């Protein structure tokens, strides 16, 4: 089914290669973001569901409650 769909496109290689590049760029950007992320922020986010609201508000930057 997919072979027939791809064969019907003119210059289908361009679509395949561009989608591969888009995925690779996104993956590399996410990896760079994770490497550059501060350790304190990672610890805060990992403890977020486990701790009380009062301790979260004192450790976190200003977070507004939209609820």
4-54 confidence digits (pLDDT tens)? 766 676 667 788 888 999 999 999 999 999 999 899 988 888 888 776 665
- DSSP 8-state symbol, 38: -
The single residue listed with the structure tokens 């992320």 is 37
Q: Which of 3, 4, 22 is nearest to 14 (CA)?
A: 22
Q: Is the pTM of this model over 0.85?
A: no
The single residue listed with the structure tokens 């004192």 is 58
| Token pair in block for residue 30 | 């996410």
d(CA 55, CA 40): 14
């Amino acid at each position: 089914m997919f072979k027939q769909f791809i064969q019907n496109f003119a210059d289908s290689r361009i679509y395949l290669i561009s989608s591969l590049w888009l995925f690779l760029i996104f993956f590399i950007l996410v990896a760079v973001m994770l490497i550059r992320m501060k350790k304190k922020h990672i610890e805060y986010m990992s403890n977020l569901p486990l701790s009380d609201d009062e301790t979260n508000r004192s450790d976190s930057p200003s977070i507004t409650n939209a609820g």
